[in-house]
Amino acid sequence: MREALVAAAFRLFLERGYEQTTVDDIVTLAGVGRRSFFRYFPSKEDVVFPDHERCLADMTAFLAASPEDTDPVARVCDAARLVLRMYAENPDFSVQRYHLTKKVPGLRAYELSVVWRYERALAEYLRGRLGGRPDGALRADLIAAAVVAAHNNALRSWLRSDGRDDAAAAVDHALEYAQSAFGSVPVPPPAGERGDVVVVLARRGAPLWQVVREVEAAFADD
């Protein structure tokens, strides 16, 4: 039933556009009652993202099942890879949907709210792990945002390639980048002790005052 509705909807969306297709069109093509559509999909937009609800549940379960001693940043990166895997499971479907959401503002808005829920899930997990730290919530939000942005960047470039590029490699590269930016917030030092590796990086061209601030920030940590 769900599958029949999704199939009918996408046929019509691709054929004559999203806004030119009414829910009545979909249900008559699928041969079911109009009321049943809204039983399976709370809104017309939901039929375009039929598996995100399940994926979000998978992600929260994955995060909830994290061992205590894993690097939380690496863990949220792995959580993001879960989403990519969902997209990669049906490349054709994902590419079609990409072209649809690219040109329909309403769908773009809906997608944003979906992405936002993923980001909140990551941020909540990170808040739990960075809770006591100074600026823990701020760090959590920043890392979640960066991980999501890296994931989306890789995902979109994969979708733009019509699913031909290597999605996993692209997302690995992008996430490594995000991880490197926040490499300063990894596994907390074993209780009681404090980690002792403190080095400073500023790439070519960084103004000196920034480097100094970095050093101060590193030591002001606790």
Partner DNA sequence: CTCGGGGCTGCACTGAGTGCCAGATAGCCG
Partner DNA sequence: CGGCTATCTGGCACTCAGTGCAGCCCCGAG
Task: Pick from 24, 135, 166, 216 the residue near DNA by CB under 7 A.
Answer: 24
Residue closest to 15 by CA, chosen among 4, 27, 25, 24: 25
Site string for DNA, 37-76 (x = CB under 7 A): -xx--xxxx-------------------------------
Interaction between residue 15 and DNA (CB under 7 A): no
CA distance 71 to 140: 13
Interaction between residue 213 and a copy of itself (CB under 8 A): yes
Q: Per the structure block, which two tokens stand in for 13? A: 């969306």
Between 67 and 207, whose beta carbon lies closer to a copy of itself? 207
Which residue has 């809906």 as its token pair? 110
Q: Per the structure block, which two tokens stand in for 11? A: 């046929």
Site string for a copy of itself, 70-109 (x = CB under 8 A): -x---------------------------------x--xx
Q: Least distance (Å) from a copy of itself to the CB of residue 172?
A: 12
Between 89 and 135, whose beta carbon lies closer to a copy of itself? 135
Contact at 8 Å (CB) between 96 and 14? yes
Contact at 8 Å (CB) between 175 and 151? yes
CA distance 174 to 152: 9
Interaction between residue 23 and DNA (CB under 7 A): yes
Q: Least distance (Å) from a copy of itself to the CB of residue 125?
A: 15
Q: Binding-site residue total for a copy of itself (CB under 8 A)?
A: 62
- Choose from a copy of itself, DNA, none: what does 185 bind? Cβ within 5-8 Å by kind: a copy of itself
Contact at 8 Å (CB) between 178 and 153? no
**Residue 194 DSSP class:** -
- Choose from DNA, a copy of itself, none: what does 44 bind? Cβ within 5-8 Å by kind: DNA
